């Protein structure tokens, strides 16, 4: 049995300001109408089992909702309390099966890759599955078509007769000079970060080379808590786990590793320049998305989320306009976006974590306006959903129903509000908002008080087990 393991815990900071900490690139529709996460699951070959999802705790409802949208079931969603890189994540997946007496072949895939030639992808999986049955650890190496400096490389013993090769070495992202040398040699493949092996084989190799990782992951699984499709592990035990990639932990040391070449028009969509590479362009090599007007513009990526963006007389730029942030950079400098993200993190700017529209398990809110002592939000509550029973220390709230019917709890009173009706939630009052109707509930919330941060929430009851 082949079990796909979908790693979906990345943050995608190189695609800021569209990709953010709490809404990263794998959950965004960047290339197709579906998201990269959804595409990863939809292109799985027939005959494999339902996938096992590994994701960060903060992304759990995004993952669950996007699975529901494409009507796909899973073997569960393992929640990492914090990111510890790929070696521990894969260990958690392997242990889930080994602990129940199973030993499937794991097909480890990243949730944020683009693969256009699905047939070639499936053929490579077929080749790799035979090798995995014989206790090999397989990595998929992308056949390079240019001297790319943004990927790691695998040096392989390549010949023209085999459909897989032994691995000589792994190489970090090279200089332009070395990338050209690798390409010309014909002995190097891009490191895709996709793998296949038996669960037991991976754990045995991990025990040889990184026993601390395996020990911490085993301890993390001893207090496994299953909540619907979510699988929670022991936070404290996992916190002690070393942070390491599977490449460093296992693949660079094992004697049983092989690489299967993959020529499938693959991209990790890791930057705005790589996204420009895979997008359809106009006659001047421009990519435009949203309400965009170009005049005398060449070789430029322009994105607008909500308003008109006009660009005149420039070339080789990336311009990304979202509701609360604007990015303008030379297309050759997109790798430096991480420096901007780091500065925003150091300054504790909210733009690095959330968009103006913030998704919650019950729906979403959009921060419409704010100023000294006030904040205005548009809140949409999905049909059948409800917010937590909560109170605030520092703020009061005014609610106005725009659409639908709200069931309101305020103190010891429970009552309905219909369109154009409003109510006042005093500071410190216990309250809750619910939608029992078949259509989304939309309200305008006006917050007033000395502090309006999202951490001023004291939850007494919550359907989604948030603190």
pLDDT in tens, 411-436: 999 999 999 999 999 999 999 999 99
Task: State the pLDDT at residue 78.
Answer: 95
Task: State the pLDDT at residue 135.
Answer: 96
Task: State the pLDDT at residue 11.
Answer: 81
What is the rounded CA–CA span in Å between residue 177 and residue 380? 53
Which residues in the chain come in under a pLDDT of 70? 160-161, 467
Alpha helices in 19-85 (DSSP H): 36-42, 60-69
Could you tell me which residues come within 8 angstroms of residue 336 by beta carbon, excluding any fewer than 6 positions away? 329
Task: State the pLDDT at residue 467.
Answer: 67
What is the rounded CA–CA span in Å between residue 151 and residue 144? 10
Q: Which of 122, 248, 117, 114 is nearest to 196 (CA)?
A: 122
pLDDT in tens, 333-365: 998 999 999 999 999 998 999 898 888 889 999
Task: State the pLDDT at residue 161.
Answer: 65
Whole-structure pTM value: 0.89
Task: State the pLDDT at residue 291.
Answer: 97
389 touches 464 (CB < 8 A): no
Task: State the pLDDT at residue 374.
Answer: 96
What is the rounded CA–CA span in Å between residue 6 and residue 55? 8
What is the rounded CA–CA span in Å between residue 325 and residue 336? 17
β-pairing, 406-410 with 413-417?
A: antiparallel
Look up residue 357 and give its two tokens: 């529209």
Q: How far, in Å, are 280, 287, 288, 296, 416 from residue 283 at the CA level?
A: 10, 10, 12, 11, 57
262 touches 141 (CB < 8 A): yes
Give me the residues paired with residue 382 across strands: none
DSSP 125-189: HHHHHHHHHTT-EEEEEEPPSS--SSS-EEEE---SS-SSEEEEEEEPSPPHHHHHHHHHHT-EE
Q: Which helix (H) or strand (E) holds 123?
A: helix 118-133
- Which domains, ranges and CATH numbers included, belong to the chain? 2-267 (3.90.550.10), 272-336 (no CATH), 357-461 (2.60.120.10)
Q: How far, in Å, are 189, 325, 342, 354, 394 from residue 348 at the CA level?
A: 39, 15, 10, 12, 21
């Amino acid at each position: 049995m082949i079990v796909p393991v979908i790693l979906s815990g990345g943050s995608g900071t190189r695609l800021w300001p569209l990709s953010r900490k709490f809404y990263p690139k794998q959950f965004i529709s960047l290339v197709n109408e579906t998201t990269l996460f959804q595409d990863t699951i939809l292109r799985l070959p027939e005959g494999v089992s339902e996938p096992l999802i590994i994701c960060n705790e903060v992304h759990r409802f995004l993952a669950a909702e996007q699975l529901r949208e494409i009507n796909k079931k899973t073997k569960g969603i393992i929640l990492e309390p914090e990111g510890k890189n790929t070696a521990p994540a894969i260990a958690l997946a392997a242990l889930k099966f080994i602990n129940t007496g199973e030993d499937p072949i794991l097909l480890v895939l990243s949730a944020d890759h683009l693969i256009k030639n699905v047939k070639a992808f499936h053929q490579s999986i077929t080749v790799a599955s035979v090798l995995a049955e014989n206790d090999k650890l397989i990595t998929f190496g992308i056949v390079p078509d240019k001297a790319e400096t943004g990927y790691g490389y695998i040096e392989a013993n390549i010949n023209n007769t085999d459909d897989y090769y032994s691995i000589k070495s792994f190489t970090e992202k090279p200089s332009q000079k070395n990338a050209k040398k690798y390409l010309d040699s014909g002995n190097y493949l891009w490191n895709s970060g996709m793998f296949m092996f038996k669960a037991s084989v991976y754990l045995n190799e991990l025990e040889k080379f990184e026993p601390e990782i395996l020990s911490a992951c085993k301890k993390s699984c001893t207090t496994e808590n299953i909540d619907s499709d979510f699988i929670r592990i022991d936070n404290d035990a996992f916190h002690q786990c070393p942070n390491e990639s599977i490449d460093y932990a296992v693949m660079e040391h094992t004697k049983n590793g092989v690489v299967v070449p993959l020529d499938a028009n693959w991209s990790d969509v890791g930057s705005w320049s790589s996204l420009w590479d895979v997008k359809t362009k106009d006659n001047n090599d421009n990519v435009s998305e949203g309400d965009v007007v170009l005049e005398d513009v060449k070789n430029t990526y322009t994105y607008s989320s909500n308003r008109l963006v006009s660009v005149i007389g420039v070339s080789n730029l990336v311009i990304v306009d979202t509701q609360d942030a604007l990015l303008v950079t030379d297309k050759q400098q997109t790798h430096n976006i991480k420096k901007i993200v780091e500065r925003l993190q150091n300054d504790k700017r909210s733009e690095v974590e959330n968009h103006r529209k913030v998704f919650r398990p019950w729906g979403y809110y959009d921060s419409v306006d704010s100023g000294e002592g006030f904040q205005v939000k548009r809140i949409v509550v999905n049909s059948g959903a409800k917010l937590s029973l909560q109170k605030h220390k520092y703020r009061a709230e005014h609610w106005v129903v725009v659409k639908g019917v709200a069931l309101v709890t305020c103190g010891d009173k429970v009552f309905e509000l219909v369109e154009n009706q409003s109510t006042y939630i005093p500071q410190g009052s216990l309250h809750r908002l619910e939608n029992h109707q078949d259509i989304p509930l939309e309200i305008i919330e006006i917050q007033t008080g000395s502090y309006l941060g999202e951490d001023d929430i004291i939850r007494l009851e919550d359907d989604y087990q948030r603190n």
